[in-house]
Chain A
Amino acid sequence: MAEKILMKGNEAIAYAAINCGCDGYFGYPITPQSEVMETLMQEKPWETTGMVVLQAESETSSINMVYGGACCGKKVMTSSSSPGISLMCEGLSYLAGCELPCLVVNVMRGGPGLGTIQPSQSDYFQATKGGGHGDYRTIVLAPASVQDMYDFVDLSFELAFKYRNPVMILGDGIVGQMMEKVELRPAKPRRTDEEVRALCDSWATLGKPASREGNIVTSLALDAEIMERFNIHLQNKYATIEANEARYETYKTEDAEYLIVAFGCMSRICENVVELAREDGIKLGVLRPITLYPYPEKALDALVPQMKSIMSVELNSGQMVEDVRRIAAGRVPVHFYGRQGGAIPSPEEIYEAFVKKIKK
């Protein structure tokens, strides 16, 4: 059996990056995710795998360093928390517009503005609906455990290169700061120059060989016809992602008459709510979207008919609930319960809110 190590979610991101052959990390410290870069600096992967770790002068620089590394077909990443991610959104739009693979980790804290350092899920809209300008999508994974934080790094790079698209791990202060045991995975070496060329030669700026024209990485096309064609290409790619990459988990939904939808660590808190409800004879289950984009539409759609009502539980004022309502499409009542600004509800508090909603 692989060794199991006790670590924080933020540390898991760092160890996973080194382990899965990441070429470069560029970041700027911000609570509650500073341990990502701290761990990387402590582990000094530049002495072992050759991975670059660089503290940039701001989040704007970090994301543009990611852009540069990604242009060269490298596995590159950054991490930040909500206010820092806002600064990166211009870069994210450019990365999406140039179809560049990369990983951005957002360990969310409460906003708006500088907000608080406490956990939050109030960047759901920003992560899943854009953030930056233009018709683009970011693949978004929502970890609920430290093992997820670890495993999603490699998965993110796989998806990023498969679709040439930015991928975001959307965690929060709870999964970032919490320690749990992590089962380490077999290490992947960093890609060699030959492997990068074999994989990315059609688009990356690797130095122009005599055998082909030079690659140009740009998101600019002034001709409307060309730009529309490119936009249609992007939308087709997103349709493929939506068809193939939706991921989710269910908890006791088989016989459920009521459903809670919750992502990230809230889904775990809501599993305890299920136990409280079932002690009272109420058949409650949980749907946990693992990918927030693409949203597990089919899974939720299939569960709707058996439910008397659905409640979305989030650490925000009601963001994902808009997607839940869209998919439920008026077939059953969709309620919402949330706490904001860094407050975290206990299972008992959520259960009380749930009972009030279903008794109305």
Chain B
Amino acid sequence: MKEEIIIAGFGGQGVLFMGRILAYGGIMQDQEVTWMPSYGPEMRGGTCNVSVILSDNKISSPILSRFDTAIILNQQSLDKFESRVKPGGVLIYDPNGITRHPERKDIKVCRIDAVDEATKLGNAKAYNMIVLGAYLKVKPVVSMENVVKGLRKSLPERHHHLMEMNEKAISVGMNAVEIL
């Protein structure tokens, strides 16, 4: 199994953290992983992305030009990465703030209204976990058990009381995702 993912959005949406949980989840199921963030001027200007690779075998290039899955959380990222999803791949996006929706017909497009769901939950910070849940529903590459382990490893201990809330947000995302 090899899954090459790009998660892209604004700084502050929890893009890097979401990638980290996936990567740690991969380690928990004994996979090879890489997590490569954008750290350049684009990050300083507001947009932010991370590519994550999970693989049963040794990973060569951590730099990717095409992806199995793109998780897209703003218009700039949709414009940049829609064309870079492999044919037959998956694009998951939050339509909040999107003016031009995905157009490709040769990939599976899914929407997750994560801003709305986070508002319903009354917790804007649960946003990225809702998106993560949506991804895991469409592509269950990491088991829920290992995601929870990855989450525990990624959260500093002083935030471990938030585990339950995060797990709940993941299941909200799983239920709310819509395959178009």
Which residues of A are in contact with B by a Cβ distance under 8 Å? 4, 6, 31-32, 116-118, 173-174, 177-181, 265, 268-269, 271-272, 275, 342, 344, 346-349
Contact = CB atoms under 8 A, between A and B. Distances in A.
A116 B27 CA distance: 33
| Pairs of residues from A and B, 3 with the lowest C-beta to C-beta distance, nearest first | A271-B60, A346-B65, A179-B35
B39 A173 contact: yes
B63 A269 contact: yes
Contact of A346 (B20, B24, B35, B64): B64
B89 interface: no
B60 A272 contact: yes
A337 to B, nearest CB: 15
Most chain A CB inside 10 Å of its own CB: which residue of B32, B34, B60 = B60
Contact of B35 (A178, A344, A348): A178
Nearest to B23: A6
A150 B79 CA distance: 37
B36 interface: yes
Contacts of B32: 180-181
Contact of A4 (B27, B40, B62, B65): B27
Given A265-B62, A268-B62, A177 B36 contact: yes
Contacts of B154: 6
Contacts of A6: 20, 23-24, 27, 33, 35, 153-154
A352 to B, nearest CB: 11
Contacts of A177: 36-37, 39
29 contacts: A4-B27, A6-B23, A6-B27, A6-B33, A6-B35, A117-B39, A117-B40, A118-B40, A173-B39, A174-B36, A177-B39, A178-B35, A178-B36, A178-B62, A179-B33, A179-B35, A180-B33, A180-B35, A181-B32, A268-B61, A269-B62, A271-B61, A272-B60, A272-B61, A342-B40, A346-B61, A346-B64, A346-B65, A347-B61
Nearest to A347: B61
Contacts of B23: 6, 179
Nearest to A146: B34
A32 B36 CA distance: 13
Contacts of B61: 268-269, 271-272, 346-347
B72 to A, nearest CB: 20
A118 B40 CA distance: 6
Contacts of A268: 59-62
A107 to B, nearest CB: 11
B63 A180 contact: no
Contacts of A275: 60
Contacts of B153: 6
Given A6-B24, A346-B65, A32 B60 contact: no
B36 A181 contact: no
A178 B63 CA distance: 10
Contacts of B34: 178-180
Contacts of A173: 39
